Amino acid sequence: MAPTRVYRRVEHGTKIELALVHEEGSRIPHYVDRRFDTPVPPGWRVERQSQPNWDGGPSLRRDMRVLDTEEPFDAAFAVNEEKVRRAEQLALALVEHMRVWGAVEPRLFVWQLGGIDAVGSAPDVLWRRREILDELAGLDLVPAEIDDPYCAFGPNGPPLVPRALVGRPVAELREADPLLADIRALGVWISLAGDEIRLALEQP
- Dump pLDDT digits (tens) for 71-114: 999 999 999 999 999 999 999 999 999 999 999 999 999 999 99
Question: Is-contact 77 188, C-beta < 8 A?
Answer: no
Task: Compute CA 33 distance to the chain's CA centroid, rounded to the nearest angstrom.
Answer: 21
Q: What was the pLDDT predicted at 147?
A: 86
- Taking the whole predicted model, whether its pTM rises above 0.75 is answered as yes
Q: What was the pLDDT predicted at 195?
A: 94
Q: What was the pLDDT predicted at 154?
A: 76
Question: Is-contact 69 6, C-beta < 8 A?
Answer: yes
Q: What was the pLDDT predicted at 2?
A: 86
Q: Which ranges of the chain have pLDDT less than 70?
A: none
Q: What was the pLDDT predicted at 79?
A: 94
